[in-house]
Amino acid sequence: MSTNCVIVEDLQVAAEYTRKCCEKSGMLEVKGHFTNVPDALQFLNSTTIDILFLDVEMPGATGFDLLDQLGYSPRVILTTSKPEYAYNAFEYKVVDFLKKPFTYQRFLEALQRAIAQEDNGGAVNGESDNHIFIKSDGKLVRLNNEDILYIESMGDYVKFVTADKKYITHNTIKALEEKVNKACFMKVHRSYIINLTKIDDIRENDLFIKGTEIPISKAHKQDVLRRLNII
Amino acid sequence: MRNQAEHNTFIFNNEIDRDLLFSLYEDDFPYIEEIFSITLSQIKPDISQLLTAFEAGNTQELRRATHKLKPSFGFVGLPAMQEQCRQFESECSVATSVDSLTPSFRKLVAGLDASVILLESEYQKLKEFNQP
């Protein structure tokens, strides 16, 4: 599956070159190119993207203004001709900083950094241990581990259930099993990952969380019991 | 369609940094032609904006217009022009009026005019070269 991206750049030749680099990489799908911040924001706040190639100085507003107003945090690769912005880039935790004009090789290095961060669930220095971000309704929503009761499979989608809300997102239990914090979460059935701290009681081959009955498969039952503090 | 060996015979004007162009586009001459075309169509209005900002005595607009022009020259193998823009942009950042910028501005405009002529000439050569 390709990673999607958007180019925000007012210099036409730079935008065209960046688009060509994206195409050449074979790893990116360019969802759009915008020459100013308001147009980019309108698109980005209705469509979640993975990587943002962002110029800094544009007419009316800067790339940093865009990041301030964006409702989620894509991986950002700054493309600018002014190295003085490196400090701001650090402050905004951008993945990389490409000085125009940049070579394709340099572009690939930046892209690999962005993808490596993506594979790490967007984690920066282990900050994601106590929370995750999920894509839901066109935005990235932060869910603290302590708020998640369980995660249920719905075919190609999964449902994150908290005490007061349910979030449906495109994912699988199998993929999530690798990404969630294993200290809190555990797969108990092919269709369920549960928060171990939320179990109210266990009866035979089912466990209960806030009144919801969740099956425990035979393959997982011993592991579940081992993880509980049984006196 | 020309073969690889024929492509490699294209000779850029000495003012153009051929190594820089090849580091960006390798020997994709049709693409280099496209880049030159896009750049020429963009820098002309950008230079007009620069001139307008100077006439209006607006140093901030002058800085912005220079900043926008600056990387264009890198993409077409004119890093010295890019550097000249960078220096002028720095001068604009600290200038309180355009008066103190006049000598540098005139030098910059002369450089810009010469660059446009050079790019137009190289673009025509590339067009002819890339013709089947």
Complex ipTM, two decimals?
0.89
Question: Which token pair is A17?
Answer: 């070159």
Q: φ, ψ for residue A229 (rounded to 5)?
A: -90, 80
The answer to whether the CB of A159 falls within 8 A of the CB of A203 is no
pLDDT at residue A188 in the model: 93
Strand order of the sheet with strand A148-154?
A: A166-170, A157-162, A148-154, A192-195, A185-189
Residue B37, SS3? helix
pLDDT at residue A42 in the model: 93
Cα dist from B54 to A55, A60, A131, B47, whole Å? 25, 19, 53, 11
Counting every residue written for chain B, the total comes to 132
Residue B7, pLDDT above cutoff 60: no
Radius of gyration of chain A (CA): 21
pTM tops 0.90: no
The answer to whether the CB of A35 falls within 8 A of the CB of A16 is no
Residue B17, pLDDT above cutoff 90: yes
Cα dist from A211 to A145, A201, B43, whole Å? 19, 10, 67
The answer to whether the CB of A181 falls within 8 A of the CB of A192 is no
Find the CB nearest B70 among A10, A59, A81.
A81
Is A100 within 8 Å of B75 when comparing Cβ atoms?
A: yes
The answer to whether the CB of B68 falls within 8 A of the CB of B46 is yes
Please name the residue of chain A whose CA is at the shortest distance from the CA of residue B75: A101
Residue A124, SS3? coil
Q: Quote the minimal CA–CA distance from A39 to chain B in Å.
A: 19
Instruction: List chain A pLDDT tens, one digit each, 231 residues.
Output: 568 999 999 999 999 999 999 999 888 999 999 999 999 999 998 888 999 999 999 988 999 999 999 888 899 999 988 777 877 887 788 999 999 999 998 999 999 888 887 655 444 434 446 778 887 777 778 888 889 999 999 988 899 999 999 998 888 898 888 778 777 888 999 999 999 889 999 988 999 999 999 999 988 888 888 777 676
Establish if A20 touches chain B: CB-CB under 8 angstroms. yes
Model pLDDT for residues A97-113, shown as the tens digit of each residue:
999 999 998 999 999 88
Establish if B70 touches chain A: CB-CB under 8 angstroms. yes
Establish if B87 touches chain A: CB-CB under 8 angstroms. no
Is B39 within 8 Å of A13 when comparing Cβ atoms?
A: yes
- Identify the structural domains of chain B with CATH numbers, from first to last: 10-130 (1.20.120.160)
Report chain A residues whose CB lies below 8 A from the CB of B23: 103
Model pLDDT for residues B31-76, shown as the tens digit of each residue:
999 999 999 999 999 999 999 999 999 999 999 999 999 999 999 9
Torsion-angle region of A210 (φ positive above 0: left; ψ -120 to 50: alpha; else: beta): left
Model pLDDT for residues B85-132, shown as the tens digit of each residue:
999 999 999 998 999 999 999 999 999 999 999 999 999 999 999 998
Residue B6, pLDDT above cutoff 60: no
Closest CA to A196 of A204, A181, A186: A186
Please name the residue of chain B whose CA is at the shortest distance from the CA of residue A103: B24
Residue B41, SS3? helix
Q: Quote the minimal CA–CA distance from A21 to chain B in Å.
A: 10
Q: How many CB atoms lie within 10 A of CB B94?
A: 9
